[in-house]
Amino acid sequence: MTSESTDRPPGRAGPRDTPVPVVVLTVAIALTGLLAAVWGLTVAEHLPAGHPPSGPARFGLAAVVFAVAQLARLRFRAASGMVSITWGEAALVICLWLVPTGWLPAAALLGAGAAWIVMSLAADRRPVPELVRIIGSLTIAAALAAAVAGALGRPLLAAPTFELALALSVGAVTYLLTTAVLGAATLALRHGMPIGPPLLAALRGKLPMFVGNVAVGLAVVALLELDPRWLLLLPPPLWLLQQTYRHRLRADQERRTWRAFAEATAALNRLDERGVATAAVTGALTLFGAERVEVDVARGEGHWRRYRADRGGPVHDLETEPATPADTGGHELVRRLAVGTTEVGRLRVRFARSAPPSARERDGVAAFGDALAAALHDAATHRELRLVTARSSYEAVHDQLTGLLNRAALLAKGDQALRQRPHDHPVALLLLDVNQFKEVNDTLGHSAGDQLLRLTADRLAALTRAGDLLGRLGGDEFALLLTSAPMVGDRAAPLAYALRQAREVAERLAVPTEVAGVRMSVEVAVGVVVADAGAADLTELLRRADIAMYQAKEGGGSVATYDSSRDAASTDHLALLAELREALAADDQLVLALQPAVDLATGAPTGVEALIRWRHPRRGWLGPADFIRPVENSEQLGTFTRYVLDKALAVAASWAGDGLDVPISVNLSARSLLDPRLPAEIADALRRHQVPPHRLVLEITETVVMSELEVIDEVLATLRAMGVQLAVDDFGTGFSSLTFLTRIAVDELKVDRSFVLRMADSPEAAAIVRTTVGLAHELGLRVVAEGVETAEQRSALAELGCTAAQGYHFFKPMPADKIAAVLGSLRDAARGNVFPLRADGAS
Sign of CA dihedral 612, 748, 766, 736: positive
CB atoms within 10 A of CB 345: 29
* pLDDT for the residue numbered 739: 59
The model's pTM is 0.44
CA distance linking residue 527 with residue 539, whole number of Å? 14
pLDDT of amino acid 10? 36
Q: Provide the H-helix boundaries in 556-695.
A: 564-586, 624-632, 637-654, 678-689
d(Cα 241, Cα 254) in Å, to the nearest integer?
A: 20
Amino acid found at 284: A
- Preceding omega of 53 cis (within 30 degrees of 0): yes
Is the Cβ–Cβ distance between 176 and 1 less than 8 Å?
yes
In sign, the C-alpha dihedral spanning 699, 701, 706, 707 is negative
pLDDT of the residue at 691: 92
Average of per-residue pLDDT across 111-123:
85
Predicted confidence (pLDDT) at residue 94 exceeds the cutoff of 80: yes
- Indicate the DSSP class of residue 789: -
Number of Cβ atoms within 10 Å of the Cβ of 514: 10
Burial of 790 (0-12, 13-18, 19+ CB in 10 A): middle
Q: Are 187 and 78 in contact (CB under 8 A)?
A: yes
Query: What are the tens digits of pLDDT across the range 263-305?
Result: 888 888 888 888 888 888 888 887 777 888 888 888 777 788 8
pLDDT of residue 547: 85
How many other β-carbons are positioned within 10 Å of the β-carbon of residue 686?
Answer: 21
pLDDT (average), residues 448-457: 90
Phi and psi at residue 642, in whole multiples of 5°?
-60, -35
What does residue 220 show for φ and ψ, rounded to 5 degrees? Answer: -65, -40
Check residue 805 and give its pLDDT. Answer: 93
Q: Distance (Å, rounded) from C-alpha 678 to C-alpha 682? A: 6
- Which tens digit of pLDDT belongs to each residue from 547-594? 888 888 777 778 888 877 666 555 666 677 788 888 888 878 889 999
- Burial of residue 389 (CB within 10 Å: 0-12, 13-18, 19+) is exposed
Looking only at the bridges linking them, the beta strands covering 804-805 and 590-599 are antiparallel
Q: What is the pLDDT of residues 350-406, one digit of tens each?
A: 887 766 787 878 888 888 888 888 888 888 888 888 888 778 778 788 888 889 999
Which pLDDT score, from 0 to 100, does residue 432 have?
A: 92
Can you tell me the mean pLDDT for 260-264?
A: 82
d(CA 344, CA 295): 10
DSSP assignments along 110-141, one per residue:
HHHHHHHHHHIIIII---HHHHHHHHHHHHHH
- Residue 630 neighbours by CB under 8 Å, 6+ apart: 573, 576, 577
Read off the pLDDT of each residue in 66-71 and give the average, rounded to a whole number. Answer: 86
Note whether 229 and 223 are within 8 A (CB): no
- Summarize the confidence of residues 48-71 as an average pLDDT: 82
For 407-444, the DSSP string reads HHHHHHHHHHHHHTS-TT-EEEEEEEEETTHHHHHHHH
Average pLDDT over residues 46-72: 81
How far apart, in whole angstroms, are the C-alpha atoms of residue 476 and residue 450?
10
- C-alpha distance from residue 604 to each of 302, 341, 596, 816, 827 (Å): 79, 78, 10, 19, 5
**Closest by Cα among 550, 545, 340, 508 to 429:** 545
Give first-to-last CA distance, the chain, whole Å: 132
**Poorest-confidence range of 420-424, 571-575, 802-806?**
571-575
pLDDT category at 470 given cuts 50, 70, 90 is very high
Average pLDDT over every residue of 759-768: 83
pLDDT at 315 over 90: no
| Band of residue 490 on the pLDDT scale cut at 50, 70, 90 | low
What is the crossing angle of helices 162-191 and 20-43, to 10°? 160
Element (H, E) at 392: helix 359-397
Cα 262 from Cα 282, distance rounded (Å): 14
Distances (CA, A) of 458 to 268, 327, 413: 46, 59, 20
Q: Measured between alpha carbons, how far is 146 from 96 in angstroms, rounded to an integer?
A: 7
CA 55 to CA 51: how far, in whole Å? 10
Residue 630 identity (one-letter amino acid): P
Q: How many residues would you count in the chain?
A: 843
What is the model's pLDDT at position 685?
93
Q: Do 727 and 750 meet the contact criterion of CB atoms below 8 Å apart?
A: yes
Nearest residue to 570 via CA among 580, 562, 561: 562
pLDDT of 837 reads 47
Whole-number pLDDT of residue 703:
57
Q: What is the pLDDT of residue 110?
A: 92
The predicted structure's pLDDT at residue 321: 55
What is the per-residue pLDDT for 12? 39
Q: So what's the pLDDT on residue 16? A: 41
Q: What pLDDT digit, counting tens, does each position of 678-720 carry?
A: 999 999 999 999 999 999 999 987 555 555 556 777 888 899 8
Which residue has better confidence, 318 or 697?
697
Q: How confident is the model at residue 633 (pLDDT cuts 50, 70, 90)?
A: low
- Cα–Cα dist 662/640, whole Å: 24
Q: Give the residue with greater pLDDT, 297 vs 17.
A: 297
DSSP state of 358: P
Q: What per-residue confidence (pLDDT) applies to 78?
A: 53
**Could you give the percent of the chain with pLDDT greater than 70?**
87
Question: Mean pLDDT in the chain?
Answer: 81
Percent of the chain with pLDDT over 90: 12
Residue 458 pLDDT more than 70?
yes
pLDDT grade for 11, boundaries at 50, 70 and 90? very low
Judged on CB neighbours under 10 Å (0-12, 13-18, 19+), 674 is middle
How far is the C-alpha of 720 from the C-alpha of 715, rounded, in Å?
Answer: 9
Rounded Cα distance, 289 and 193, in Å: 12
Q: CB–CB of 186/133 below 8 Å?
A: yes
733: pLDDT strictly greater than 70 = no
DSSP characters for 50-93? T-SS-HHHHHHHHHHHHHHHHHS-EEEEETTEEEEE-SHHHHHH
pLDDT per position as a tens digit, 640-657: 899 999 999 999 999 888
Rounded Cα gap, residues 574 and 584, in angstroms: 16
Q: Identify the band that residue 6 occupies on the pLDDT scale cut at 50, 70 and 90.
A: very low
Q: Give residue 598's pLDDT band: very low, low, confident or very high (50, 70, 90).
A: very high
Cβ atoms 427, 421 nearer than 8 A: yes
CA distance linking residue 789 with residue 17, whole number of Å: 109
Helix (H) or strand (E) holding 7: none
Please give the average per-residue pLDDT across 528-546, as a whole number.
84
Which amino acid is residue 65, in one-letter code? Answer: V
Q: What is the pLDDT of residue 697?
A: 93
The band of 534, judged by pLDDT with boundaries at 50, 70 and 90, is confident
